[in-house]
Structure 1
Amino acid sequence: MSLAVEEIFNEWTLPIWLTLSVLIAALLYVRGWFAIRKTRKEQFTDMHLMSFLSGLAILWLAIGSPMDGFADALLSAHMIEHLLLMSVVPPLLLYGMPVVPLLRGLPRVVVKRVGGPLLRRRWLRALGHGLVKPPVAWLLMNLSLLGWHVPTAYNFALEHENWHVVEHLCFLSTSLLFWWCVLRPWPAKKEEQNWGILLYLVTADAVNTMLSAFLAFCGRPVYSYYLTHGNLFQVSQLDDQVLGAVVMWVFGSTVFLVPAAMITMRLAGFHSHERRARA
Protein backbone atom coordinates (compact mmCIF):
# COMPACT_ATOMS: atom_id res chain seq x y z
CA MET A 1 0.00 0.00 0.00
CA SER A 2 2.69 2.50 1.01
CA LEU A 3 4.73 1.63 -2.11
CA ALA A 4 1.70 2.29 -4.31
CA VAL A 5 1.08 5.66 -2.66
CA GLU A 6 4.77 6.54 -3.02
CA GLU A 7 4.71 5.61 -6.70
CA ILE A 8 1.69 7.85 -7.37
CA PHE A 9 3.33 10.81 -5.61
CA ASN A 10 6.61 10.22 -7.45
CA GLU A 11 4.84 10.24 -10.83
CA TRP A 12 2.84 13.39 -10.04
CA THR A 13 3.93 16.66 -11.64
CA LEU A 14 2.44 20.08 -11.04
CA PRO A 15 -0.12 20.87 -13.79
CA ILE A 16 1.12 24.32 -14.81
CA TRP A 17 -1.82 25.46 -16.94
CA LEU A 18 -4.49 24.27 -14.52
CA THR A 19 -2.69 25.81 -11.56
CA LEU A 20 -2.23 29.13 -13.38
CA SER A 21 -5.88 29.14 -14.47
CA VAL A 22 -7.09 28.54 -10.91
CA LEU A 23 -4.79 31.22 -9.50
CA ILE A 24 -5.82 33.77 -12.14
CA ALA A 25 -9.51 33.06 -11.51
CA ALA A 26 -8.94 33.47 -7.76
CA LEU A 27 -7.07 36.78 -8.22
CA LEU A 28 -9.72 38.17 -10.60
CA TYR A 29 -12.53 37.21 -8.26
CA VAL A 30 -10.83 38.67 -5.18
CA ARG A 31 -10.07 41.90 -7.04
CA GLY A 32 -13.65 42.18 -8.26
CA TRP A 33 -15.06 41.18 -4.86
CA PHE A 34 -13.23 44.01 -3.10
CA ALA A 35 -14.38 46.44 -5.80
CA ILE A 36 -18.06 45.51 -5.60
CA ARG A 37 -18.00 45.40 -1.78
CA LYS A 38 -17.69 49.18 -1.83
CA THR A 39 -21.31 49.46 -2.98
CA ARG A 40 -22.82 46.05 -2.10
CA LYS A 41 -21.19 45.10 1.17
CA GLU A 42 -24.24 43.30 2.55
CA GLN A 43 -24.75 41.31 -0.64
CA PHE A 44 -21.15 40.12 -1.06
CA THR A 45 -20.19 38.68 2.30
CA ASP A 46 -17.08 36.86 3.48
CA MET A 47 -19.02 33.61 3.03
CA HIS A 48 -19.38 34.28 -0.69
CA LEU A 49 -15.66 34.92 -0.99
CA MET A 50 -14.75 31.78 0.95
CA SER A 51 -17.24 29.71 -1.04
CA PHE A 52 -15.81 30.68 -4.40
CA LEU A 53 -12.19 30.23 -3.31
CA SER A 54 -13.04 26.88 -1.71
CA GLY A 55 -14.62 25.76 -4.97
CA LEU A 56 -11.44 26.63 -6.86
CA ALA A 57 -9.29 24.86 -4.27
CA ILE A 58 -11.38 21.67 -4.46
CA LEU A 59 -11.32 21.85 -8.25
CA TRP A 60 -7.51 21.88 -8.18
CA LEU A 61 -7.45 19.14 -5.55
CA ALA A 62 -9.69 16.90 -7.67
CA ILE A 63 -7.80 17.09 -10.98
CA GLY A 64 -4.51 18.85 -10.27
CA SER A 65 -3.23 17.12 -7.16
CA PRO A 66 -1.94 13.52 -6.76
CA MET A 67 -5.60 12.58 -6.26
CA ASP A 68 -5.84 12.32 -10.05
CA GLY A 69 -3.21 9.59 -9.89
CA PHE A 70 -5.28 7.68 -7.34
CA ALA A 71 -8.28 8.05 -9.68
CA ASP A 72 -6.29 6.32 -12.44
CA ALA A 73 -5.51 3.41 -10.10
CA LEU A 74 -8.80 3.01 -8.21
CA LEU A 75 -12.34 3.25 -9.52
CA SER A 76 -13.54 4.38 -6.09
CA ALA A 77 -11.10 7.31 -6.16
CA HIS A 78 -12.24 8.13 -9.68
CA MET A 79 -15.86 8.28 -8.50
CA ILE A 80 -14.88 10.63 -5.68
CA GLU A 81 -13.11 12.83 -8.24
CA HIS A 82 -16.26 12.92 -10.39
CA LEU A 83 -18.46 13.73 -7.39
CA LEU A 84 -16.23 16.66 -6.45
CA LEU A 85 -16.39 18.01 -10.01
CA MET A 86 -20.14 17.59 -10.35
CA SER A 87 -21.61 18.01 -6.89
CA VAL A 88 -19.21 20.06 -4.75
CA VAL A 89 -17.29 22.49 -6.96
CA PRO A 90 -20.26 23.92 -8.95
CA PRO A 91 -22.47 24.87 -5.95
CA LEU A 92 -19.50 26.43 -4.15
CA LEU A 93 -18.49 28.49 -7.19
CA LEU A 94 -22.06 29.60 -7.91
CA TYR A 95 -22.80 30.51 -4.29
CA GLY A 96 -19.99 33.03 -4.65
CA MET A 97 -22.10 34.87 -7.30
CA PRO A 98 -19.05 34.93 -9.59
CA VAL A 99 -20.31 36.73 -12.70
CA VAL A 100 -19.96 40.36 -11.62
CA PRO A 101 -16.84 39.96 -9.41
CA LEU A 102 -14.99 38.19 -12.25
CA LEU A 103 -15.99 40.92 -14.71
CA ARG A 104 -15.03 43.66 -12.24
CA GLY A 105 -11.74 41.90 -11.63
CA LEU A 106 -10.72 41.98 -15.28
CA PRO A 107 -8.62 44.90 -16.55
CA ARG A 108 -10.89 47.61 -17.93
CA VAL A 109 -9.39 47.36 -21.42
CA VAL A 110 -10.25 43.63 -21.58
CA VAL A 111 -13.85 44.27 -20.52
CA LYS A 112 -14.19 47.10 -23.04
CA ARG A 113 -12.62 45.38 -26.05
CA VAL A 114 -13.50 41.73 -25.43
CA GLY A 115 -16.18 41.30 -22.76
CA GLY A 116 -18.46 44.13 -23.91
CA PRO A 117 -18.65 43.10 -27.59
CA LEU A 118 -19.27 39.47 -26.64
CA LEU A 119 -22.04 40.30 -24.16
CA ARG A 120 -23.75 42.49 -26.76
CA ARG A 121 -24.10 39.63 -29.24
CA ARG A 122 -27.74 38.58 -29.25
CA TRP A 123 -27.08 35.01 -30.38
CA LEU A 124 -24.61 34.51 -27.54
CA ARG A 125 -27.06 35.84 -24.94
CA ALA A 126 -29.81 33.69 -26.43
CA LEU A 127 -27.55 30.63 -26.24
CA GLY A 128 -26.74 31.37 -22.60
CA HIS A 129 -30.40 31.79 -21.66
CA GLY A 130 -31.26 28.58 -23.49
CA LEU A 131 -28.59 26.53 -21.71
CA VAL A 132 -29.83 27.49 -18.24
CA LYS A 133 -33.42 26.45 -18.87
CA PRO A 134 -34.06 23.60 -16.40
CA PRO A 135 -35.00 20.91 -18.96
CA VAL A 136 -31.91 21.67 -21.05
CA ALA A 137 -29.52 21.84 -18.08
CA TRP A 138 -30.98 18.64 -16.57
CA LEU A 139 -30.61 16.77 -19.85
CA LEU A 140 -27.06 17.93 -20.52
CA MET A 141 -25.82 17.07 -17.04
CA ASN A 142 -27.38 13.60 -16.98
CA LEU A 143 -26.34 12.77 -20.53
CA SER A 144 -22.79 13.72 -19.60
CA LEU A 145 -22.94 11.56 -16.46
CA LEU A 146 -24.34 8.50 -18.24
CA GLY A 147 -22.40 8.94 -21.47
CA TRP A 148 -18.98 9.08 -19.86
CA HIS A 149 -19.81 6.06 -17.67
CA VAL A 150 -20.45 3.86 -20.70
CA PRO A 151 -17.53 1.39 -20.48
CA THR A 152 -16.10 2.24 -23.91
CA ALA A 153 -16.07 5.98 -23.19
CA TYR A 154 -14.82 5.52 -19.61
CA ASN A 155 -11.91 3.31 -20.67
CA PHE A 156 -11.07 5.57 -23.61
CA ALA A 157 -10.87 8.64 -21.38
CA LEU A 158 -8.49 6.93 -18.96
CA GLU A 159 -6.27 5.70 -21.79
CA HIS A 160 -6.05 9.09 -23.54
CA GLU A 161 -5.13 12.00 -21.29
CA ASN A 162 -6.52 14.71 -23.58
CA TRP A 163 -9.91 13.01 -23.65
CA HIS A 164 -9.73 12.64 -19.89
CA VAL A 165 -9.50 16.44 -19.74
CA VAL A 166 -12.52 16.68 -22.05
CA GLU A 167 -14.43 14.34 -19.74
CA HIS A 168 -13.66 16.56 -16.75
CA LEU A 169 -14.71 19.67 -18.67
CA CYS A 170 -18.01 18.02 -19.62
CA PHE A 171 -18.73 17.08 -16.01
CA LEU A 172 -17.85 20.54 -14.68
CA SER A 173 -19.57 22.64 -17.35
CA THR A 174 -22.84 20.69 -17.44
CA SER A 175 -22.98 20.57 -13.63
CA LEU A 176 -22.50 24.34 -13.47
CA LEU A 177 -25.54 24.66 -15.76
CA PHE A 178 -27.52 22.22 -13.61
CA TRP A 179 -26.81 23.98 -10.31
CA TRP A 180 -27.26 27.41 -11.89
CA CYS A 181 -30.96 26.56 -12.28
CA VAL A 182 -31.17 25.80 -8.55
CA LEU A 183 -29.09 28.69 -7.14
CA ARG A 184 -29.58 31.32 -9.88
CA PRO A 185 -26.71 33.54 -8.67
CA TRP A 186 -27.06 37.31 -8.98
CA PRO A 187 -27.40 39.10 -11.39
CA ALA A 188 -29.48 36.29 -12.90
CA LYS A 189 -33.18 37.03 -12.65
CA LYS A 190 -34.58 35.40 -9.54
CA GLU A 191 -37.52 33.13 -10.18
CA GLU A 192 -39.87 31.95 -7.45
CA GLN A 193 -39.04 28.32 -6.75
CA ASN A 194 -41.99 25.96 -7.11
CA TRP A 195 -42.63 22.27 -6.85
CA GLY A 196 -41.08 21.77 -10.29
CA ILE A 197 -37.57 22.29 -8.84
CA LEU A 198 -38.18 19.28 -6.59
CA LEU A 199 -38.90 17.13 -9.64
CA TYR A 200 -35.72 18.55 -11.18
CA LEU A 201 -33.60 17.43 -8.19
CA VAL A 202 -35.36 14.14 -7.43
CA THR A 203 -35.22 12.87 -11.01
CA ALA A 204 -31.51 13.76 -11.19
CA ASP A 205 -31.04 11.71 -8.03
CA ALA A 206 -32.93 8.84 -9.67
CA VAL A 207 -30.49 8.80 -12.58
CA ASN A 208 -27.52 8.81 -10.19
CA THR A 209 -29.16 6.04 -8.13
CA MET A 210 -29.77 3.79 -11.14
CA LEU A 211 -26.17 4.13 -12.33
CA SER A 212 -24.82 3.51 -8.82
CA ALA A 213 -27.09 0.51 -8.30
CA PHE A 214 -26.00 -1.05 -11.58
CA LEU A 215 -22.31 -0.71 -10.68
CA ALA A 216 -22.94 -2.04 -7.17
CA PHE A 217 -25.06 -5.09 -8.06
CA CYS A 218 -24.01 -6.16 -11.56
CA GLY A 219 -21.63 -8.71 -10.03
CA ARG A 220 -18.72 -8.17 -12.45
CA PRO A 221 -16.06 -5.53 -13.14
CA VAL A 222 -17.51 -3.16 -15.74
CA TYR A 223 -14.42 -1.18 -16.72
CA SER A 224 -11.63 -3.21 -18.32
CA TYR A 225 -9.06 -0.44 -17.83
CA TYR A 226 -8.55 -1.46 -14.21
CA LEU A 227 -8.08 -5.10 -15.25
CA THR A 228 -5.44 -4.40 -17.90
CA HIS A 229 -3.34 -1.66 -16.28
CA GLY A 230 -2.07 -3.38 -13.18
CA ASN A 231 -3.33 -3.23 -9.63
CA LEU A 232 -1.13 -0.97 -7.54
CA PHE A 233 -3.18 -1.42 -4.38
CA GLN A 234 -3.77 -5.16 -4.74
CA VAL A 235 -7.52 -4.84 -4.16
CA SER A 236 -10.29 -6.74 -5.90
CA GLN A 237 -11.59 -4.79 -8.90
CA LEU A 238 -15.13 -5.82 -8.03
CA ASP A 239 -14.79 -4.70 -4.40
CA ASP A 240 -13.31 -1.40 -5.58
CA GLN A 241 -16.21 -0.96 -8.00
CA VAL A 242 -18.80 -1.66 -5.30
CA LEU A 243 -17.11 0.83 -2.97
CA GLY A 244 -17.10 3.48 -5.69
CA ALA A 245 -20.78 2.81 -6.43
CA VAL A 246 -21.71 3.11 -2.75
CA VAL A 247 -19.83 6.41 -2.41
CA MET A 248 -21.52 7.70 -5.56
CA TRP A 249 -24.93 6.51 -4.37
CA VAL A 250 -24.82 7.84 -0.82
CA PHE A 251 -22.99 11.12 -1.37
CA GLY A 252 -24.67 11.84 -4.70
CA SER A 253 -28.14 11.30 -3.25
CA THR A 254 -27.31 13.51 -0.27
CA VAL A 255 -26.30 16.36 -2.55
CA PHE A 256 -29.59 16.19 -4.45
CA LEU A 257 -32.00 15.33 -1.64
CA VAL A 258 -30.84 17.74 1.08
CA PRO A 259 -31.60 20.83 -1.09
CA ALA A 260 -34.86 19.15 -2.16
CA ALA A 261 -35.87 18.68 1.49
CA MET A 262 -34.99 22.29 2.33
CA ILE A 263 -37.01 23.59 -0.62
CA THR A 264 -39.94 21.33 0.34
CA MET A 265 -40.01 22.72 3.88
CA ARG A 266 -39.83 26.28 2.59
CA LEU A 267 -42.61 25.74 0.06
CA ALA A 268 -44.78 23.90 2.58
CA GLY A 269 -44.26 26.68 5.12
CA PHE A 270 -45.06 29.32 2.52
CA HIS A 271 -48.30 27.65 1.45
CA SER A 272 -49.28 27.04 5.08
CA HIS A 273 -48.73 30.73 5.85
CA GLU A 274 -50.71 31.66 2.73
CA ARG A 275 -53.66 29.49 3.83
CA ARG A 276 -53.63 31.03 7.31
CA ALA A 277 -53.57 34.50 5.79
CA ARG A 278 -56.62 33.70 3.65
CA ALA A 279 -58.44 32.27 6.70
Structure 2
Amino acid sequence: MRLDLTWDLSLQWSTITSITLPILIGVAYFSRVGRLRERHRQPRLWRQASFTVGLAAIVLVTVGPIDDLADNLVFGHMVQHILLLEEISLLLALGLTGPILGPILTKPGFRQLRGLTHPVAAFAIWAVVMFGWHAPPAYQLAAENEVVHLFEHASFVAAGVLMWLAMLGPFPKPEWFGNGAKAVYVAAIHFTSMVLANVLMWSGTVIYPLYLASDRAHRISPITDQSLAGVVLMAQSALLMFGMLAWLLLRWAQQDTERQELIDLAYEHGIELDERRARRAVAAGRTAELRNRLLSSSTGRTPKPS
Protein backbone atom coordinates (compact mmCIF):
# COMPACT_ATOMS: atom_id res chain seq x y z
CA MET A 1 0.00 0.00 0.00
CA ARG A 2 2.82 2.37 0.90
CA LEU A 3 4.57 1.56 -2.38
CA ASP A 4 1.38 2.31 -4.33
CA LEU A 5 0.98 5.62 -2.51
CA THR A 6 4.61 6.55 -3.18
CA TRP A 7 4.19 5.70 -6.87
CA ASP A 8 0.97 7.73 -7.13
CA LEU A 9 2.63 10.74 -5.50
CA SER A 10 5.60 10.36 -7.82
CA LEU A 11 3.30 10.32 -10.84
CA GLN A 12 1.45 13.40 -9.61
CA TRP A 13 4.74 15.23 -9.05
CA SER A 14 5.91 14.20 -12.52
CA THR A 15 2.69 15.43 -14.12
CA ILE A 16 2.80 18.76 -12.31
CA THR A 17 6.45 19.25 -13.28
CA SER A 18 5.78 18.35 -16.93
CA ILE A 19 3.15 21.09 -17.06
CA THR A 20 4.77 23.70 -14.83
CA LEU A 21 8.27 23.66 -16.31
CA PRO A 22 7.21 24.50 -19.90
CA ILE A 23 4.98 27.27 -18.53
CA LEU A 24 7.89 28.78 -16.56
CA ILE A 25 10.15 28.55 -19.62
CA GLY A 26 7.45 30.25 -21.68
CA VAL A 27 7.10 33.06 -19.13
CA ALA A 28 10.88 33.61 -19.16
CA TYR A 29 10.96 33.53 -22.97
CA PHE A 30 8.20 36.09 -23.48
CA SER A 31 9.55 38.27 -20.70
CA ARG A 32 12.79 38.43 -22.70
CA VAL A 33 10.80 39.06 -25.91
CA GLY A 34 9.08 42.01 -24.22
CA ARG A 35 12.39 43.60 -23.26
CA LEU A 36 13.77 43.06 -26.75
CA ARG A 37 10.66 44.61 -28.30
CA GLU A 38 11.56 47.92 -26.63
CA ARG A 39 14.78 47.86 -28.69
CA HIS A 40 13.08 46.47 -31.81
CA ARG A 41 15.13 43.27 -31.59
CA GLN A 42 12.41 40.78 -30.76
CA PRO A 43 12.19 37.51 -32.75
CA ARG A 44 9.80 37.44 -35.67
CA LEU A 45 6.27 36.31 -34.90
CA TRP A 46 6.73 32.95 -36.63
CA ARG A 47 9.71 32.22 -34.36
CA GLN A 48 7.70 33.11 -31.27
CA ALA A 49 4.86 30.91 -32.51
CA SER A 50 7.27 28.05 -33.17
CA PHE A 51 8.65 28.22 -29.64
CA THR A 52 5.14 28.37 -28.16
CA VAL A 53 3.96 25.36 -30.16
CA GLY A 54 7.09 23.48 -29.06
CA LEU A 55 6.35 24.12 -25.38
CA ALA A 56 2.70 23.13 -25.82
CA ALA A 57 3.77 19.95 -27.61
CA ILE A 58 6.00 18.99 -24.67
CA VAL A 59 2.96 19.07 -22.39
CA LEU A 60 0.81 17.15 -24.89
CA VAL A 61 3.28 14.28 -25.35
CA THR A 62 4.34 13.96 -21.70
CA VAL A 63 0.97 14.30 -19.97
CA GLY A 64 -1.80 13.44 -22.45
CA PRO A 65 -2.87 10.26 -24.29
CA ILE A 66 0.55 9.81 -25.90
CA ASP A 67 2.08 9.46 -22.44
CA ASP A 68 -0.54 6.86 -21.49
CA LEU A 69 0.29 4.94 -24.67
CA ALA A 70 4.01 5.25 -23.88
CA ASP A 71 3.44 3.65 -20.47
CA ASN A 72 1.91 0.57 -22.07
CA LEU A 73 3.52 -0.04 -25.46
CA VAL A 74 7.05 0.23 -26.84
CA PHE A 75 5.90 1.90 -30.06
CA GLY A 76 3.95 4.47 -28.03
CA HIS A 77 7.09 5.25 -26.08
CA MET A 78 9.04 5.61 -29.32
CA VAL A 79 6.52 8.13 -30.67
CA GLN A 80 7.04 10.19 -27.53
CA HIS A 81 10.82 9.93 -27.56
CA ILE A 82 11.39 10.78 -31.21
CA LEU A 83 9.04 13.76 -31.02
CA LEU A 84 11.06 15.14 -28.10
CA LEU A 85 14.40 14.36 -29.75
CA GLU A 86 13.64 15.77 -33.19
CA GLU A 87 10.39 17.58 -34.05
CA ILE A 88 9.66 19.35 -30.75
CA SER A 89 13.29 20.33 -30.23
CA LEU A 90 13.33 21.75 -33.78
CA LEU A 91 10.32 23.95 -32.98
CA LEU A 92 12.05 25.25 -29.85
CA ALA A 93 15.37 25.85 -31.61
CA LEU A 94 13.65 27.95 -34.29
CA GLY A 95 12.44 30.32 -31.59
CA LEU A 96 15.91 30.89 -30.11
CA THR A 97 17.70 33.87 -31.66
CA GLY A 98 20.96 35.54 -30.64
CA PRO A 99 19.26 38.34 -28.67
CA ILE A 100 17.05 35.79 -26.87
CA LEU A 101 20.05 33.70 -25.82
CA GLY A 102 22.25 36.72 -25.03
CA PRO A 103 21.76 36.84 -21.23
CA ILE A 104 22.51 33.11 -20.94
CA LEU A 105 25.59 33.10 -23.15
CA THR A 106 27.21 36.01 -21.34
CA LYS A 107 27.03 34.35 -17.92
CA PRO A 108 30.31 33.03 -16.44
CA GLY A 109 31.04 29.52 -17.66
CA PHE A 110 28.63 29.53 -20.59
CA ARG A 111 31.14 30.98 -23.05
CA GLN A 112 33.29 27.90 -22.54
CA LEU A 113 30.28 25.75 -23.47
CA ARG A 114 29.92 27.33 -26.91
CA GLY A 115 32.12 24.57 -28.27
CA LEU A 116 29.18 22.23 -27.73
CA THR A 117 27.35 24.06 -30.53
CA HIS A 118 29.96 22.91 -33.06
CA PRO A 119 28.09 20.62 -35.49
CA VAL A 120 30.27 17.59 -34.74
CA ALA A 121 30.01 18.01 -30.96
CA ALA A 122 26.26 18.68 -31.01
CA PHE A 123 25.59 15.67 -33.24
CA ALA A 124 27.72 13.43 -31.02
CA ILE A 125 25.86 14.55 -27.88
CA TRP A 126 22.50 13.93 -29.56
CA ALA A 127 23.53 10.44 -30.69
CA VAL A 128 24.89 9.49 -27.25
CA VAL A 129 21.70 10.69 -25.56
CA MET A 130 19.49 8.77 -27.99
CA PHE A 131 21.40 5.48 -27.84
CA GLY A 132 22.20 5.81 -24.13
CA TRP A 133 18.59 6.12 -22.98
CA HIS A 134 17.45 3.29 -25.27
CA ALA A 135 19.97 0.85 -23.82
CA PRO A 136 17.87 -1.65 -21.79
CA PRO A 137 19.32 -0.81 -18.32
CA ALA A 138 18.79 2.95 -18.71
CA TYR A 139 15.37 2.40 -20.32
CA GLN A 140 14.30 0.18 -17.40
CA LEU A 141 15.56 2.68 -14.82
CA ALA A 142 13.66 5.55 -16.44
CA ALA A 143 10.48 3.46 -16.53
CA GLU A 144 10.74 2.63 -12.83
CA ASN A 145 11.80 6.03 -11.47
CA GLU A 146 9.79 9.14 -12.33
CA VAL A 147 12.63 11.52 -11.45
CA VAL A 148 14.94 9.69 -13.85
CA HIS A 149 12.10 9.63 -16.40
CA LEU A 150 11.77 13.41 -16.23
CA PHE A 151 15.53 13.80 -16.59
CA GLU A 152 15.43 11.49 -19.61
CA HIS A 153 12.80 13.66 -21.32
CA ALA A 154 14.67 16.86 -20.43
CA SER A 155 17.89 15.45 -21.88
CA PHE A 156 16.07 14.49 -25.10
CA VAL A 157 14.83 18.05 -25.55
CA ALA A 158 18.17 19.63 -24.57
CA ALA A 159 20.20 17.39 -26.89
CA GLY A 160 17.73 17.95 -29.73
CA VAL A 161 17.73 21.73 -29.33
CA LEU A 162 21.53 21.75 -29.23
CA MET A 163 21.68 19.63 -32.39
CA TRP A 164 19.34 21.96 -34.30
CA LEU A 165 20.99 25.13 -32.98
CA ALA A 166 24.31 23.88 -34.35
CA MET A 167 22.68 23.86 -37.78
CA LEU A 168 20.11 26.66 -37.63
CA GLY A 169 21.03 28.78 -34.61
CA PRO A 170 22.78 32.14 -34.26
CA PHE A 171 26.18 30.76 -33.27
CA PRO A 172 29.26 31.17 -35.49
CA LYS A 173 29.61 28.14 -37.75
CA PRO A 174 32.69 26.55 -39.33
CA GLU A 175 33.58 27.77 -42.81
CA TRP A 176 32.96 24.29 -44.22
CA PHE A 177 29.45 24.03 -42.77
CA GLY A 178 27.53 25.33 -45.78
CA ASN A 179 24.28 24.04 -47.25
CA GLY A 180 25.94 20.92 -48.67
CA ALA A 181 27.44 20.00 -45.29
CA LYS A 182 24.10 20.72 -43.63
CA ALA A 183 22.42 18.27 -46.00
CA VAL A 184 24.96 15.64 -44.93
CA TYR A 185 24.26 16.60 -41.29
CA VAL A 186 20.52 16.00 -41.76
CA ALA A 187 21.20 12.68 -43.51
CA ALA A 188 23.53 11.65 -40.66
CA ILE A 189 20.75 12.34 -38.15
CA HIS A 190 18.40 10.13 -40.15
CA PHE A 191 20.82 7.25 -40.66
CA THR A 192 21.83 7.31 -37.00
CA SER A 193 18.16 6.93 -36.09
CA MET A 194 17.97 4.07 -38.61
CA VAL A 195 20.53 2.08 -36.63
CA LEU A 196 18.21 1.99 -33.61
CA ALA A 197 15.15 1.50 -35.84
CA ASN A 198 16.67 -1.59 -37.48
CA VAL A 199 17.68 -3.08 -34.14
CA LEU A 200 14.08 -2.74 -32.95
CA MET A 201 12.54 -4.02 -36.20
CA TRP A 202 14.71 -7.07 -36.76
CA SER A 203 15.68 -8.21 -33.28
CA GLY A 204 14.29 -11.67 -32.61
CA THR A 205 14.43 -11.22 -28.85
CA VAL A 206 12.51 -8.95 -26.50
CA ILE A 207 14.70 -5.95 -25.65
CA TYR A 208 12.36 -4.30 -23.12
CA PRO A 209 10.69 -7.04 -21.00
CA LEU A 210 8.89 -4.50 -18.79
CA TYR A 211 6.17 -4.30 -21.48
CA LEU A 212 5.36 -8.04 -21.48
CA ALA A 213 2.27 -7.71 -19.27
CA SER A 214 0.86 -4.65 -21.03
CA ASP A 215 1.51 -6.23 -24.44
CA ARG A 216 -0.61 -9.22 -23.39
CA ALA A 217 -3.32 -6.87 -22.14
CA HIS A 218 -3.37 -5.11 -25.53
CA ARG A 219 -3.28 -8.47 -27.38
CA ILE A 220 -0.09 -7.68 -29.22
CA SER A 221 3.07 -9.77 -29.22
CA PRO A 222 6.17 -8.15 -27.65
CA ILE A 223 8.16 -8.65 -30.87
CA THR A 224 5.42 -6.98 -32.94
CA ASP A 225 5.24 -4.08 -30.50
CA GLN A 226 9.01 -3.71 -30.65
CA SER A 227 9.03 -3.90 -34.46
CA LEU A 228 6.32 -1.25 -34.68
CA ALA A 229 8.54 1.01 -32.54
CA GLY A 230 11.27 0.63 -35.16
CA VAL A 231 8.83 1.40 -37.97
CA VAL A 232 7.61 4.52 -36.13
CA LEU A 233 11.19 5.71 -35.63
CA MET A 234 12.06 5.08 -39.28
CA ALA A 235 8.93 6.81 -40.63
CA GLN A 236 9.19 9.90 -38.40
CA SER A 237 12.90 10.30 -39.08
CA ALA A 238 12.44 9.87 -42.85
CA LEU A 239 9.68 12.47 -43.02
CA LEU A 240 11.82 14.94 -41.10
CA MET A 241 14.87 14.26 -43.26
CA PHE A 242 13.03 14.77 -46.55
CA GLY A 243 11.36 17.91 -45.23
CA MET A 244 14.67 19.39 -44.09
CA LEU A 245 16.44 18.44 -47.33
CA ALA A 246 13.69 20.11 -49.36
CA TRP A 247 14.03 23.24 -47.22
CA LEU A 248 17.82 23.24 -47.65
CA LEU A 249 17.44 22.95 -51.42
CA LEU A 250 15.09 25.93 -51.54
CA ARG A 251 17.35 27.87 -49.19
CA TRP A 252 20.40 27.12 -51.33
CA ALA A 253 18.59 28.37 -54.45
CA GLN A 254 17.49 31.56 -52.68
CA GLN A 255 20.94 32.24 -51.25
CA ASP A 256 22.61 31.63 -54.61
CA THR A 257 20.25 34.15 -56.22
CA GLU A 258 20.89 36.74 -53.47
CA ARG A 259 24.66 36.23 -53.69
CA GLN A 260 24.65 36.77 -57.45
CA GLU A 261 22.45 39.87 -57.10
CA LEU A 262 24.97 41.38 -54.65
CA ILE A 263 27.88 40.66 -56.98
CA ASP A 264 26.00 42.15 -59.95
CA LEU A 265 25.05 45.22 -57.92
CA ALA A 266 28.66 45.80 -56.90
CA TYR A 267 29.82 45.39 -60.51
CA GLU A 268 27.21 47.88 -61.78
CA HIS A 269 28.47 50.52 -59.34
CA GLY A 270 32.15 49.83 -59.91
CA ILE A 271 32.70 48.36 -56.44
CA GLU A 272 34.98 45.39 -55.85
CA LEU A 273 33.12 42.77 -53.82
CA ASP A 274 34.78 39.54 -52.76
CA GLU A 275 32.53 36.57 -53.52
CA ARG A 276 33.27 35.03 -50.12
CA ARG A 277 32.08 38.19 -48.39
CA ALA A 278 28.85 38.08 -50.38
CA ARG A 279 28.39 34.40 -49.52
CA ARG A 280 28.96 35.01 -45.80
CA ALA A 281 26.52 37.93 -45.75
CA VAL A 282 23.81 35.89 -47.44
CA ALA A 283 24.37 32.88 -45.17
CA ALA A 284 24.09 35.14 -42.09
CA GLY A 285 20.85 36.69 -43.35
CA ARG A 286 22.50 40.09 -43.86
CA THR A 287 21.83 40.50 -47.58
CA ALA A 288 19.83 43.71 -47.11
CA GLU A 289 22.55 45.21 -44.91
CA LEU A 290 25.29 44.54 -47.45
CA ARG A 291 23.09 45.80 -50.30
CA ASN A 292 22.52 49.01 -48.35
CA ARG A 293 26.26 49.42 -47.82
CA LEU A 294 26.98 48.91 -51.51
CA LEU A 295 24.39 51.47 -52.56
CA SER A 296 25.62 53.96 -49.97
CA SER A 297 29.25 53.48 -51.02
CA SER A 298 28.36 54.22 -54.63
CA THR A 299 26.70 57.54 -53.67
CA GLY A 300 29.05 58.48 -50.84
CA ARG A 301 26.26 58.47 -48.25
CA THR A 302 26.31 56.99 -44.77
CA PRO A 303 24.57 53.60 -44.89
CA LYS A 304 21.17 53.41 -43.23
CA PRO A 305 20.63 50.74 -40.58
CA SER A 306 18.90 47.67 -42.01
Question: What is the deviation of 1:248?
Answer: 0.7
| Matched residue, 1:107 | none
Map of 1:52 onto structure 2 = 51
Distance, in Å, in 2 between the alignment partners of 1:273 and 1:16 is 48
Q: CA deviation at 1:17?
A: 2.7
Q: Is the 8 A contact 1:145 1:171 kept in 2?
A: yes
Matched residues, number: 251
One-letter amino acid matched to 1:148: W
Distance 1:163 1:231, change over 3 A: farther
The alpha carbon displacement at 1:33 in A equals 2.2
| Structure 2 residue 18 is matched with structure 1 residue 18 | yes
Q: Is the 8 A contact 1:29 1:102 kept in 2?
A: no
TM-score for both structures, normalised by structure 1? 0.77
Shift in Å, 1:91 = 1.2
Q: Which sits farther off after the overlay, 61-70 or 236-245?
A: 61-70
The amino acid that maps onto 2:181 is G
For residues 171-182 of structure 1, what are the structure 2 equivalents within 5 Å? 171-182=156-167
Q: State which of 220, 234, 247 in structure 2 corresponds to 1:249.
A: 234
Q: TM-score, normalised by structure 2?
A: 0.71
- Given that 1:12 and 1:69 are in contact with CA atoms closer than 8 Å, whether structure 2 keeps it comes out as no
CA distance in 2, matches of 1:202, 1:35: 38
AA aligned opposite 2:76:
A
- What amino acid does structure 1 have at the position aligned with 2:93? L
Question: What does 1:101-120 align with in structure 2 at a 5 Å threshold?
Answer: 101=100, 119-120=106-107
Partner of 2:140: 155
| Pairing 1:91-240 to 2, within 5 Å after superposition | 91-97=90-96, 100-101=99-100, 119-121=106-108, 123-127=109-113, 129-185=114-170, 188-189=171-172, 193-227=178-212, 231-240=216-225
Residue 102 of structure 1 deviates from its aligned partner by: 7.3
- Greater mean alpha carbon deviation, residues 129-138 or residues 193-202: 193-202
Residue 116 of structure 2 aligns to which amino acid in structure 1?
L
Q: Could you say which structure has the greater relative contact order, defined with CA pairs below 8 angstroms and 6 or more residues apart?
A: 1
Equivalent residue, structure 2, for 1:78: 77
Aligned residue in 2 for 1:106? none
- What do you get for the CA RMSD once the two structures are aligned? 3.1
Q: Is the 8 A contact 1:29 1:98 kept in 2?
A: no
Q: Rg bigger for which structure? A: 2
Structure 1 runs not aligned, ≥5 long: 1-10, 104-110
